[in-house]
Amino acid sequence: MRYLRAFGYCIEEAFVELWRNRLVNLVSIATIAVSLFILGVFFTVSMNLNALMAGWASRVQLTVYLADDATASDREELEQFFAQSSEIESFDYVSKDAAVTRFRSYFPELDTLPDVLETNPLPASFEVTVASDFRNPDDVRGLARRVGAVGSVAEVDYDLLWIERLTGVIELVRIIGLTIGGALVIASVFTIFNVIKLTVYGREDEIGIMRLVGATHAYIRGPFLVEGILQGGLGGALALGLLYVSHQYFLREALSSFELLPTTDWLRFVPPSAWAAIVCGGMFVGLVGSLLSVRKFLSRSV
């Protein structure tokens, strides 16, 4: 109960102080908001690109063409190999006849071509779906190399171009985002540090008096820490709001101007766990800034 009352005091004082110096405090809140907002933008973009890539990647298939002279036991051996490989989710056999049927349905105007050619020129194949954990360029390439080394396999075909490009873009977005965002977060900590320092300086006399009438160290520090946390939390909430608005009105516009993305319906807003992370991240930044400041400028307890 006592601690609860002391906590109540800290919160009350912090709010009073926040309002009293609202102009200066607005600066720290804005700094935090901008930093977290920019981090959030990069996070949203890379999250969506990741989702996009996952969609494309689910269609990553290897087409394994069998040599013309492959026997039934070669085929069985290959099936066994596929079944045992953890990198492979499923596989379908497409026989030479099935290949012809498919060819006909794809190209009706060339319907007669297989007949003209007397022998069936289309090879039998396996259509192999890669397991979801392995749908990235490196694993797919490695799998293709190993499958291609099997004697009865004539050729392995796969299309990684888009995935490779997208992986590159995502990596770039992530690096830029973390660099800029990280620098801004450090700047926010520093801003909070300085704003709290000014508040401490401005209240030195009062703090001295409080000590003389029996206020403990924690009682004097508490409001400053709560103030930092409040600034950070408000900054985080503001960042979240900005992120939502810009997601609704700007991000879609910006991304739809990319030729490669036909629609932007898939563009998602960050999930609730990220809302919490943004606000808590702000609070944490605020706490660190004020803690550093209080440690440095409120160390005397007498």
Partner 1 sequence: MIQTFHVSKQYGRDNAALRDVTLEIDKGEFVFLTGPSGAGKTTFLKLIFREETPSQGQILVNGRNVSAIPEAKIPFLRRDIGVVFQDFKLLRRKTIFENVAFVLRVMGVPKIERKRRAFQILKQVGLQHKINNYPMQLSGGEQQRVAIARALVNEPVILLADEPTGNLDPELAIEIMSLFQEINARGTTVLVATHDREMITRLGKRVINLEKGRVAEN
Question: Hey, what are 149's tokens?
Answer: 């080394």
106 binds partner 1 (CB under 8 A): no
217 binds partner 1 (CB under 8 A): yes
- CA-angle at 296, arms to 292 and 298, nearest 5°: 110
Binding mask 160-199 for partner 1 (x = CB under 8 A): ----------------------------------------
- In one-letter notation, the amino acid at residue 23 is L
Minimum distance from residue 206 beta carbon to partner 1 (Å): 5
79 binds partner 1 (CB under 8 A): no
Minimum distance from residue 12 beta carbon to partner 1 (Å): 10
Nearer to partner 1 (CB atom), residue 86 or residue 301:
301
Query: Binding residue for partner 1 (CB under 8 A) from 86, 119, 257, 301?
Result: 301
Minimum distance from residue 284 beta carbon to partner 1 (Å): 27
Minimum distance from residue 11 beta carbon to partner 1 (Å): 13
Minimum distance from residue 49 beta carbon to partner 1 (Å): 52
Q: How far is CA 2 from CA 7, 134, 224, in A?
A: 9, 57, 19
Query: Binding residue for partner 1 (CB under 8 A) from 56, 162, 219, 275?
Result: 219
Nearer to partner 1 (CB atom), residue 9 or residue 244:
9
Q: What is the CA radius of gyration of the chain?
A: 31
Query: Binding residue for partner 1 (CB under 8 A) from 24, 154, 210, 292?
Result: 210
52 C-beta neighbours (distance < 10 Å), count: 18
- In one-letter notation, the amino acid at residue 94 is V
Binding mask 18-37 for partner 1 (x = CB under 8 A): --x-----------------
β-bridge partners, 64: 126, 156
Minimum distance from residue 237 beta carbon to partner 1 (Å): 28
Query: Binding residue for partner 1 (CB under 8 A) from 2, 23, 84, 86?
Result: 2
Query: Binding residue for partner 1 (CB under 8 A) from 69, 212, 259, 265?
Result: 212
22 C-beta neighbours (distance < 10 Å), count: 10
Count CA atoms closer than 13 A to 200's CA, side-chain side: 23
Q: How far is CA 236 from CA 37, 154, 246, 276, 290, in A?
A: 8, 57, 15, 9, 16
β-bridge partners, 93: 126
Count CA atoms closer than 13 A to 190's CA, side-chain side: 7
15 binds partner 1 (CB under 8 A): no
DSSP, residue by residue, 204-232? HHHHHHHHHTT--HHHHHHHHHHHHHHHH
Binding site for partner 1 (CB under 8 A): 1-2, 5-6, 9, 20, 206, 209-217, 219, 301-302
